[in-house]
Chain A
Amino acid sequence: MRRLAAETAVIGGGAAGTFAALELHRRGVKPLILCKGLVGKSGASIFAGNLVVPGRLLGNTAEQARDTAEFLIRMHNHFLIDQHYARAAGEWIEREYYPELERAGLYLRRDDRGEIVTNDGPVRCMAAHSQGESGVLFMDLRRKQVLKAGIPWLEETAATALLTDADGAIAGVMALDLARGEVVAIATRAVILATGYADRFYPRSTATREMSADGIAMAWRAGAELMNLEIQWWHTSDVRFPLCWQRTQIYPNPIIGSSHSARLYNSDGEVFFDQEADAPTAMGPYTLQLKRLAKQVLAGKARFDGGYYSSFTHIAPNTVSAYTDYAKAFTALGKSIATDTLETACSAHYRQGGIVVDPARMATRVPGLYVAGGVGGHSNGLIAPVTYDGMLAAETVAGDLPRLKPAALPEDKAAAEEARLQALRRSLPGNGVTPAHVKKALRALMSEKMGFFKNAAGMEEALAEVTRLRDELMPAMGLANVTPRLNYAWLDAIDVTNLLEVAALTIRAALNRTESRGPFYRTDFPETDNERWLVKNILTPTANGDPNFRTEPYELPFLKPDFPRRESLEVDW
C-alpha cells in the first residue's frame, strides 16, 4: 500500500474537478487530483457540444436572458433545482466563466467579421472551435492549465473509498492505481468529489467507459445523503449502429449560424420531432424528444432501442458543416448529410440526482466532504454550472481548512479497504462468473424494468433481481487473470459492487416517487404532480445500510410550474 498525503483530494478530472483544483491552487491550497481515467480525456465533459450564452452576454435581450434561465430551471431540471443556486451560477458564468476561458486561450468560433457565431432564437449557444466538439478543446485547455500549474495528479487511479474518523469526518481516500496495480492510501481532511453525472447502468449509455456510480456509492458509505436518484435522463437521438457509438449524437440542438436542427422520423417516415417547430426555447430538448418518442413507441412506430431515424436532409449541407462537426458519423459511414438518414436509439444520459449538497457552499453533511458537478443532486451537470461548482467548492474548502482537524489515516479502515480490494482480485472459481458478466446482467435488467416505461410491480422485481445478483452472483465472481497490473477486470469487479448498490438505491428512490416528471415516467403514476412531488426525494443512510426516505420542498422564488397536476406525456418539459 502506497501512502500519500494531500491538503485536499479532488476526485475527478473533468470540468468540475479540474477547475476546483485550479481554484484551490490559485488560493494557495495544494490539491491532488485523482482521476479514474486521464485528466481531460475521460469523463463526460469532453462531450459538451454547445456552450450556452447566459444572461445579457453577447447582446442577449432581457427576454433571451429570461428564456435562458427558464430553459435551465424548467426544461433542463424540471424545477428540481435550487433557483437561488441557478441564479448565482448564471451570474458567475456571465461575469467570470467565459472571460476566464477566453483569456486562457479557448477559441470561441467567430465568423470572418469577428462576431461569435450563435444560433438564432430565444436560447443561444456558441461553440469552442466546432459545434459538437466544444468539450474536447475545452478539456484539452483544462488539462494544459493543470499541467502548467504543476498540480500533481494520479491518473488511471480509481478512488474506491472515503475514509472517515471516529467523528464521521473525512480523514482519507483509498484508491487503486490501475497501471501499477497498487492500492494507494491518501491522508486528507478535505475531499472534493467530482465524478460526474452518469454511470453505465444500461446497455446503452452516454457515459465514458469508467463512469460507474462510484462517487455516489462512496459518498453514501461515508454517510452522505442522496436525492432524486430516480431522475434519469435519456439521449433520444444517438446513432444505433455501430453498437459502440452510443454517444454519437445526431444533435437536436439548433445549428449555430442558423435556426435549424435535425429531425426525427418514425418507422413510417413521418417526422415526429422537429426542434425548430416543437421546442424553440428548449436547447437540448431531450425530454420533449423522449416524450414524443414514447408516443411513437405506444403507436408501434418506433422502439426505445431503434426503429426510428434522424437526419439533416431538410437543411442545406453547407449550413450543417459551416460551424459543426455534425456530419462526422455520416462521413465515417460513407454517407451524406444531404441525402442519408441514420437509425437512432436511446442512450441513458444524465442522472439528474445525486449527493445532497448545500448549493450555496457545495458542502455535504459529512465534515470534509464537498461535491462539484453532476454527481451532486443539486443540478444536472451542464459544463458551465459544474465549473461554477468547482469554483465554489474550492472557495469553501479554502475557508474551511483551518477549522478541519489534521488528517490522520484511520489505519484499521485503510487496512480493511485494502483487504476488500485484494479479495476482489481472485481467480475465477470453477462455476464462477466474470465481473463483465455481472455488469451485463445488471444492464439487461435495468433496461427491461427501469427504462422509460416502468411501474411498481416491475421495479419490485428489479429490486429482487438486483438483490439476487448481489447475493448469488457476486460471491461467484472472479477474474480470468489475477495480475494486479492494468487489470481492467479487477476494476470491473470494484465497479460492480458500486453499481449494484446504487442500482438498488435508485430503484427504491423510483418506487418512492409516486409521480412522473421530466424524463422519469411511471405508468402507474403518469401525472406530473406539482402539489405533492415538487420536492427533493431524499435518501438517508441508516445503520443497516437501508435508506430512510424524507422529502423537502423546493423554494420557487423566480419560476413556478403553471399547473398542479397533468399527464406527464402532455407536459413539454
Chain B
Amino acid sequence: MAERPQVLAGARNLGRDDTGDSPAARLTRLKEGDTVTARIFCFDPASDAAPRFETHRVPYTKWMRVLEVLTYVSEELGGDLAHRWFCANRMCGTCAVRVNGREVLACWEPVEPEMTIEPLRNAPVVRDLVIDRTAYERRVVALTPWLVRQEPYPGFPEPLTHRAMAPTARALDCISCMCCFSACPVVGLGQETSFAGPAPLVQLARVALDPRDGIDRGRIALEHGAVFDCISCYKCEEVCPVSIPIVTGAIEPLKALAFKSVAGKSRHARVFLKIVQARGRIDPSALVLGVQRLAALRHPLRIFKLWRRGKIDPLKTMLGFRLPDIEQIRQIYQAVRGGPR
C-alpha cells in the first residue's frame, strides 16, 4: 500500500480526500493572481436595524488563509471590519468564524474561491465578526474546570505516568475557540436545555479524567452540564480545528462518570439501557417518552414531523417490538453485570 502523507485525524476530515478537498488539494486550487470573493457579515447592533453582507474581492497570495482576507479587507480596502485575532498560529483560539456555513479558525483555514464569512453562532455579536464570549465563559467557570486535589501535592515532580494521563490527553489540546460551541445544535436550542455545550464539557473532561483530580465530576457533568442532553451528532468533532474526539473522548466518558456517581439522576442512561435490554436496540420514541415523560407530548407538531420523516414510530413502540436475537443481547447484559470488573 502506498504511504499516505500525514493523515488528518478526526471527523472534520471524513471524506475530504474523496471530494478533492484535502489540505494538499487546497494548496493548488487557487493560484497567485486569482481573486478571492468574500461576502462578509457586517452588523453593529447599536446602530444597525439588521445585519448586511459586504462583498470584497481580494487578491490571492500563496497558500492564503481566511485571516489574510479579513486583514486585507480591514487594512487595505479602507473598510472598518471588526474581527478578532491575536496569534495567527492556532493557539489563542479567538479568530473562529463560519466560512460557507462551517466553523473554522480564520488563521488556519485555507481560503475558498468564494466565501461567505459569518460570526460564530450561539453567542451575541458585538460587531461584525466579533462575538461576546462572556456567557460561554460563564458556562465554563460553572463547571469548576480546575484541578481539585483531595490528596496533598507530593512535591515536584509528582508521581504520574502518561498512561494515567492518556484519557485526558486529547482534551488538553482544546484552545477554547468555540467552533464546536457554535456548531452544536443542542446549544442552539437555547433555553430549552441546560446543556453546557461541547467546549465547556471538554474543559470539564480535562480535569474529570485527570487521575489527580479528587471531586465528583460525574455529578458536576450532570447537574451543571446536563451532559445527557448531548445527542451524539458529532457536529462538534466535525469542526474541531485541533481534532479532539469531543464525543467519544470527552462527553461519553463524562456520561459514564455521571451514571456511575449519580445513577438515580442519570435518567437518560438508565432508560437507554432498559430499552436496549428489552428490545435489543434503541427506540427513539420510547427514549424520549421515558426521559421526558409527559413533557415529551408538549410539542405535537414536532412529534408529527419526526414521524413523517421516519425518525419515530409510535406504533412500533406501543406494540413493544424486539429484535429476534434478543436473548444474545440479554446475555451480554448478564456478562457485563456478572462478569469480572
Contact = CB atoms under 8 A, between A and B. Distances in A.
Contacts of A133: 91, 173
A104 B147 CA distance: 7
Interface in B130-164: 130, 132-133, 137, 141, 145-147, 149, 153, 155-163
Most buried by B among A42, A328, A332: A332
B101 interface: no
B62 A208 contact: no
Given A333-B63, A336-B6, A209 B130 contact: no
Contacts of A7: none
Interface stretch (B74-82, B222-230, B264-272, B324-332): B74-82
Residue with the greatest number of chain B CB neighbours at <10 A, chosen from A147, A209, A487: A209
Contacts of B176: 41, 140
B86 A210 contact: yes
B233 interface: no
B162 A247 contact: no
A110 B165 contact: yes
A144 B146 contact: yes
Contacts, number: 184
A2 B145 CA distance: 32
A114 B94 contact: no
Contacts of A102: 153, 156-158
Interface string A439-470: 01000000000000000000000000000000
Interface residues of B, number: 72
B109 to A, nearest CB: 9
B92 A46 contact: yes
Nearest to A133: B91
Interface stretch (B20-28, B250-258, B279-287, B308-316): B20-28
Contacts of B93: 41
B172 interface: yes
B112 interface: no
A36 to B, nearest CB: 10
Interface string B197-231: 00000000001001010000000000000000000
B334 interface: no
B56 to A, nearest CB: 13
A469 to B, nearest CB: 17
B62 A242 contact: yes
Given A41-B92, A336-B5, A483-B44, A105 B207 contact: yes
A90 to B, nearest CB: 15
Interface stretch (B65-73, B184-192, B288-296, B299-307): B65-73
Interface string B17-61: 000001111110000000000000000101100000000000001
B99 interface: no
B276 interface: no
B162 A244 contact: no
A436 B64 contact: no
Contacts of B22: 334
Nearest to A135: B91
* A108, A210, A243, A437: most-surrounded residue (chain B CB, <10 A): A243
A116 interface: yes
B79 A480 contact: yes
Contact of B86 (A38, A105, A337, A480): A38
Contacts of A107: 160, 165, 168, 172, 210
B157 A480 contact: no
B91 A434 contact: no
Contact of B88 (A244, A328, A331, A333): A244
A130 B126 CA distance: 34
Contacts of B236: none
Interface in A73-116: 98-99, 102-105, 107-114, 116
16 contacts: A38-B133, A41-B92, A57-B156, A107-B160, A111-B161, A114-B160, A129-B172, A145-B146, A147-B137, A179-B132, A208-B92, A209-B85, A248-B88, A334-B24, A334-B27, A335-B5
Given A46-B92, A331-B23, A334-B5, 11 more contacts: A38-B94, A103-B149, A108-B157, A112-B163, A148-B146, A209-B85, A244-B67, A244-B68, A244-B107, A245-B88, A487-B80
Question: Closest 9 CB pairs between A and B?
Answer: A334-B24, A105-B147, A334-B23, A481-B80, A436-B75, A99-B156, A114-B161, A103-B153, A208-B86
